[in-house]
A and B are shown apart, each in its own frame.
Chain A
Amino acid sequence: MTDAHAVTIETVSKSFGRGQSAVRVLDNVSVAIGRREFFTLLGPSGCGKTTLLRLIAGFETADGGTIRIEGADLTKAPPFHRPVNTVFQSYALFPHLTVEQNVGFALEEQGLPREEVRRRAGEALEMVRMQAFARRRPSELSGGQQQRVALARALAPRPKVLLLDEPLSALDLKLRKAMQIELKQLQAEAGITFVFVTHDQEEALTLSDRVAVMQGGRILQMGPPRSIYEAPTHRFVADFIGDINLIEAEALAGGGVRLAGGGVVPVPGATPGRVTLAIRPERARMVAPGAGVVDATLVHSAFLGTAMLHKLELPDGGSFLIREADLSAPMPERGGRVGLCLPAEALQVMQA
């Protein structure tokens, strides 16, 4: 049987607790993750990311649905029979073993000869540039170094799929950025499917081939970072990822959407009724009063280093952000009236 996917999850559900106090943590989740894909699960705390990862790893069993890895149905297989390794959020390095023994653990379990174990553990350590620390114990390493060892340990047995549960969350910002780049390179080099969990939207967007945004045990939207960012289909997704302006509006029967302030934008395809318009701050522009869809008042401007951020007040009292990358653009007075130009192609209509 050939399956083009590394991991296939079909209608998987999971509840914790029994009877009255049962909590449904995953609700009918289906995902297909391609080979060599960098796939990210993104969502707020408690949305079920870790649970989904643990189901793939085999630490939890699904209440229903199937989990296939490289085409094989492994829904009920124990963790040690799955071609999958995990980089734990807490690293979970073995404190009684040296770095080298930690990395060689899985290889020894495979029954490889001692020499082979040492050679391949060395290789894996080289990949994360930790050869120099082979003889140390985990307690003698910094957080970033432990993280690399955890990565090397999971990579050493050459798994088909690597699961990473917020592996960078314990690192400081600078180290995190550096590790992000390394992770991405490692993934490309090793040619392994990555299933990555994070609640950091920026991290998700920079690293991933595809992102699944989760909320309350469901996947709301799944796609390349760009489409998630530019074309969110849910208000939650739009709000969760980056800054976005949300405007209450009404879709008209004849096409077009009327803003609360009065202007009509020519966006096609919306079912008549109340909708929410979404637009990223960098896609909206200020024009002369009366020249835009609606007029607004400039409340505040801030210099961000590479751009200006303007805060406007709409006629209905709502606030609106504009990021202007062109620093030489004419800047209106604070408190002055400006027109708001919303390009139709940058507007996303969501049923409110």
Chain B
Amino acid sequence: MMQSAAVRQLVLLLPALGVIVLLIGVPLGLMGWVSLLEKSASAGVDWQASPGAGNYLRLVWEEDFDGRMILNPTYLVIFLRSVLQAAVTTLLCLVLGLPVALWMAGLTRTGRMVMLLLVTIPFWTNLLVRNYAWLIILREDGWTTAVLNRLWPFGPVQLLYNDAAVAIGLTYSFLPFMILPLYSVFEKFDWRLIEAALDLGATRRRALRRVVLPLALPGIVAGSLLVFIPCLGAFVTPALLGGGKTAMLGNVIQAQFGPARNWPFGAAVSIVLLAIMLAVMTAMALWRSRRAPR
């Protein structure tokens, strides 16, 4: 009996397991393997090469003309910029999304429905189209720049093709991923707790700090991961709004698989990116399990 049940379970799981292994396990394994190989003379992968960590070393060091290894900051800077850019975007999304989610939860039923629709509408629009829209909004002879130049006394403002433009574009693209988990927390929130806090002498700001934020933490963590992780690998927004001057990891990977035709190096960068994401998620999971109630 027991055995047959176990067998049945396995049989039922088989299709899902198959899909996971075939579509996630195998490509990941392949990418890991390729990252250890070298690119061949004809710009493909040299499958005969003996595997080694050369691509990973090349991320940090490069060989100078005398054959010595010297530090090459190019990729380190890009890594740092990517992490920073993703962090800034996450923070901006949080600062913008939290009040919106709070406000939405307090609306009437129809109000909430309309707002949910409005928040999700950008999902239905192509990513490229959305980024081109920002290109137009921020462009040098656009009215946004004109207005800002009138108000800003210290020389002309450049809105496009810098880190700020990328941050704006990313924040716009990922804001719904922050708003939705927060909203789902606030929708179920027991507002009487806020009244209790006010009753016990807390001002609105203090009640937010001591009651709302701690209880919204699961939503904040979920939203932050949903924004931070895909932001790390973003490449459309930095390419368009950063104008190629502010490359992020996604752009490096895209360049290696595309124009540079160095798949092994691109695979190595991808694996490092994956490692960062896994590290962030593990850290979050550990932190949450530590502070969860016994």
Contacts and interface: CB of A to CB of B under 8 A. Distances in A.
A88 B198 CA distance: 13
Interface in B168-226: 190, 192-193, 195-203, 206, 210-211, 214-215
A94 B193 contact: yes
A92 B190 contact: yes
B293 interface: yes
A84 B201 CA distance: 9
Contacts of B293: 137, 139
A96 B211 CA distance: 8
A117 interface: no
B63 to A, nearest CB: 55
B201 A57 contact: no
Interface stretch (A104-112, A283-291, A319-327): A104-112
A79 B202 CA distance: 9
Interface of B: 190, 192-193, 195-203, 206, 210-211, 214-215, 293
Contacts of A154: 199-200
A109 B201 contact: yes
A154 B200 CA distance: 7
A106 B201 contact: yes
Contacts of B201: 80, 106, 109-110, 157
Could you say which of A79, A105, A154, A157 has the most chain B C-beta atoms within 10 Å of its C-beta? A79
A92 B211 CA distance: 11
22 contacts: A59-B198, A59-B199, A78-B198, A78-B203, A79-B195, A79-B199, A80-B199, A84-B199, A86-B199, A88-B195, A90-B192, A92-B196, A96-B214, A96-B215, A106-B200, A106-B201, A109-B206, A137-B293, A139-B293, A153-B200, A154-B199, A157-B200
B214 A85 contact: no
A336 interface: no
A95 interface: yes
Contact of B197 (A105, A110, A137): A105
Q: How large is the interface on A (under 10, 10 to 19, 20 to 34, 35 or more residues)?
A: 20 to 34
A92 B206 contact: no
B195 A92 contact: yes
Contacts of A88: 192, 195-196
A137 B293 CA distance: 8
Given A95-B215, A96-B215, A109-B206, A85 B192 contact: no
Tell me the dominant secondary structure on chain B's binding face: helix
Contact of B199 (A85, A93, A95, A96): A85
B192 A80 contact: no
Query: Which among B190, B198, B210, B211 has the greatest number of chain A C-beta atoms within 10 A?
Result: B198
Nearest to B215: A96
A299 B199 CA distance: 55
A88 B200 CA distance: 12
A251 B153 CA distance: 90
Nearest to B190: A92
Task: Please name the 3 residue pairs, one residue from A and one from B, whose CB atoms are nearest each other, closest first.
Answer: A106-B200, A109-B201, A92-B196
A57 B200 CA distance: 10
Contact of B198 (A79, A90, A137): A79
Given A92-B193, A94-B193, A137-B293, A105 B200 contact: yes
B178 to A, nearest CB: 21
Interface in A241-263: none
Given A92-B190, A95-B215, A137-B293, A80 B202 contact: yes
B96 to A, nearest CB: 25
A94 B189 CA distance: 12
A78 B210 CA distance: 18
Contact of B211 (A59, A94, A110, A139): A94
A92 B214 contact: no
Nearest to A54: B195
A153 B199 CA distance: 11
B232 to A, nearest CB: 30
Interface string A115-143: 00000000000000000000001010000
Contacts of A96: 211, 214-215
A204 B293 CA distance: 39
Contact of B200 (A78, A85, A95, A139): A85
Contacts of A84: 199
A77 to B, nearest CB: 11
A154 B195 CA distance: 13
Nearest to A93: B196
Given A109-B206, A137-B293, A92 B192 contact: yes
Nearest to B203: A80
A90 B190 CA distance: 11
B196 A109 contact: no
Given A84-B199, A85-B200, 5 more contacts: A80-B198, A80-B200, A90-B192, A105-B197, A154-B199
A110 B200 CA distance: 9
Contacts of B215: 95-96
Most buried by B among A90, A95, A109, A154: A109
B101 to A, nearest CB: 18
Given A96-B214, A96-B215, A137-B293, A109 B200 contact: yes
